Amino acid sequence: MPVGTQGSVKAVSPEDLVDAKTRIILANTYHLYLRPGHEIIERLGGLHRFMNWHGPILTDSGGFQVYSLAKLRDITEEGVHFQSHIDGSRHFIGPKEAMEIQSALGADIVMAFDECAPYPADYDYVLNSVKLTSLWAQRCIKYQKDDSQTLFGIVQGGMYTDLRERSARELVDMNFGGYALGGLSVGEDRETRLRVISETRGFLPDNKPVYLMGVGTPEDLVEAVMQGVDMFDCVMPTRNARNGTLFTSRGKLNIRNAAYMEDKRPVDENCRCYTCANYSRAYLRHLYMARELLAYRLNTIHNLFYYAHLMEGIRRAIEADHVDVFIQNFFEAYRGNVQV
C-alpha cells in the first residue's frame, strides 16, 4: 500500500496511482484528525470523494503517530492525551475516538487503537503495552460504528516471543477481520525482525489476512511473504523517489550519479511504467539536479510501479506454485551490478 498520509500520496495524483497499478492506499488517522479534521472530511462525503480515490483505503489507528510524533504523551487505560506536532494544542484519542474518526473518514479497512512500545524496551513496559492493546482492541470492537468497515487487530509484544504469542492469541479470540504485526521496523535488526514475524505468524489463523506495518525494502517484502504475510505499507518507494533513489529489477539506482548525465536508457529496461516508457536517465537526472518538481512525480511513478509489479509477480508465483524459483531469480537479479 502506498502511503497517503494526509489524503495524498506525495507527488502523484490518484490517476497516476491507477496507472501505476496501485490497488489500495493507506491514509493516516492521526494526521487527518489534526488537519483538516475528520468532521470536515465526513461532511464533504468521506475520504474517497475528498481525494478522488475510487479504490480501497486502509486507515491506521493513529497509535504509532501518537507514539512517534506527539509531544508530552500521557497514556492511561482510557487512551492517550497528547500534544499536536503542528501547533502544540492538546488532544485525546482512545479506542472510541479512533473508531469515530475512522468511521467519519469512511475507510474500507480500519485498525484497532494500539499502544506501540519503543525499541528497545524492557519486558515490563512491553507487557503493559500488550495489556493496553488488548483492552483497547476489545473496546474498538464495542465502539465500531460501521459494520461495512473491516476491523483489524494489531499484535504488539516487542521482541519478546511470549508477549507476541499472548497478544496474538488474545486478539484471535476476539475474531478480527485481519491481523497486523505492529511494533516492528522501529530500529531492530533484520534478523530479529524476521524472527518475530515468523514466530508471530504461527500464532495467527491462515484464513485471515496478515498485515506487516511499516515495512519496507523489496527484500523485506519478499522475505516476509515467505513467512506468510499478505499486506504491507511503507513510505520507502515514495520517500526514496523524492531523494533520487530508484528501484530497478537489478537493484537500486541513484539518479544523482554523474554517470547518468548522458544516459539515454530508461531507469529500468524491463519496466513498463509511464516514466520508463517516456524518459531517459539523463533527463531524470537533469530534473532532479535542477530541483524541478516533475522529478519527484516521475521518480515516484516509477517506484510505485516497481513495487506493484513486484507484488504482482509474487502473487503469480504463488498461484503457479513457483515461489522458490521466483525468490531465487529475484535475489540473483536484484543484487546485481547497477551503479549507485
Query: Could you list the active site residues?
Result: 60, 233
Q: Which three cell numbers, joined as nine digits, stand for 131?
A: 495489556
Give the whole-angstrom CA distance, residue 171 versus residue 175.
7
34-41 own/partner pairs: CB under 8 Å, 24+ apart:
34/84, 34/86, 34/91, 35/6, 35/86, 38/100, 38/101, 38/104, 38/105, 39/104, 41/7, 41/104, 41/105, 41/106
Taken in order 307, 214, 323, 334, is the CA torsion positive or negative? positive
Are 53 and 27 in contact by the 8 Å Cβ rule? The answer is no
Give the whole-angstrom CA distance, residue 27 versus residue 1.
10
- Short-list 141, 85, 88, CA closest to 111: 141
Give the whole-angstrom CA distance, residue 320 versus residue 340.
34
Place of cell 513496559: 125
Taken in order 252, 255, 260, 262, is the CA torsion positive or negative? positive
Give the whole-angstrom CA distance, residue 113 versus residue 129.
12
Please provide residue 147's backbone torsions phi and psi, each rounded to the nearest 5 degrees: -70, -15
